[in-house]
């Protein structure tokens, strides 16, 4: 017997159509903002954070009709129980130089904000011309550090979400819409 898919423990939050339209509009808005910032021959550098951002980044850049390049980093963060702090480890570094470049960091979701704030500090040390941050989903309520986000797809509640790049134990990333795990509410 086939197991139902998506499984019944998921509650829809944003349909695939709603997500696709919002991301398209956001891409158009970002492109408009950068058009006046980029000099002739200059390319925006978008940096996606693996694994979660790959779907958002793919849709976002296809809605941006400006010259750009794409790079990725892969980060993982650990909770240090003894010091009750998080630390971030970079599993894959950038392949492009970012000195004197306009940089747009693209992430699936801003939660506590620790991973993003670590990455932004790291990137700032390399002397980019500018850094902006785009996230598909923003859980403001969960923030533990201050984080300036330039572009937000959707502001969301603190429930655990899956789909559109977001995973639960590496599952569900490929769902085109966004769902909440029933156990998380």
Residues annotated catalytic, as ranges: 111
Among 27, 48, 113, 177, binds ligand IMP (CB under 6 A): 113
* DSSP code per residue over 127-174: --SEEEEEEEEE-GGG--S----SEEEEE--SS-EEBTTB-BTTBSTT
Residue 28-67 contact track with Mg ion, rule CB under 5 A, x = bound: ------------------------x---------------
CB-count burial class (<10 Å; 0-12, 13-18, 19+) for 82 = exposed
Q: Does position 73 bind ligand IMP by CB under 6 A? A: no
Q: Does position 114 bind ligand IMP by CB under 6 A? A: yes
Give the separation between CA 137 and CA 110, rounded to whole angstroms: 6
Residues touching ligand IMP, count (CB under 6 A): 17
Q: Does position 166 bind ligand IMP by CB under 6 A? A: yes
Residue 6-45 contact track with ligand IMP, rule CB under 6 A, x = bound: ----------------------------------------
Element (H, E) at 178: strand 178-181
Those residues whose C-beta lies under 8 Å from the C-beta of residue 94, and which sit 6 or more positions away, are 47, 71, 72, 73
Q: Does position 175 bind ligand IMP by CB under 6 A? A: no
Among 128, 160, 173, 176, binds ligand IMP (CB under 6 A): 160
Contact 51, 25 (CB under 8 A): no
Binding site for ligand IMP (CB under 6 A): 52, 77, 107-116, 160-162, 166-167
């Amino acid at each position: 017997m086939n197991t139902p898919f998506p499984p019944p423990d998921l509650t829809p939050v944003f349909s695939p159509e709603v997500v696709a339209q919002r991301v398209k509009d956001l891409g158009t808005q970002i492109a408009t903002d950068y058009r006046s910032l980029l000099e002739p021959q200059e390319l925006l550098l978008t940096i996606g954070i693996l694994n979660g951002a790959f779907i958002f980044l793919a849709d976002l850049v296809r809605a941006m009709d400006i010259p750009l390049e794409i790079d990725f980093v892969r980060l993982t963060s650990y909770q240090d129980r003894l010091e009750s702090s998080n630390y971030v480890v970079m599993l894959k570094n950038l392949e492009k130089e970012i000195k004197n470049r306009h940089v747009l960091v693209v992430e699936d979701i801003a939660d506590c904000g620790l991973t993003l704030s670590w990455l932004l500090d790291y990137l700032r040390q390399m002397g980019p011309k500018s850094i902006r941050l785009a996230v598909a989903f923003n859980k403001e309520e969960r923030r533990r550090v201050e984080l300036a986000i330039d572009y937000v797809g959707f502001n969301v509640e603190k429930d655990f979400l899956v789909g559109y790049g977001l995973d639960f134990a590496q599952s569900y990333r490929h769902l085109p819409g966004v769902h909440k795990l029933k156990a998380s509410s």
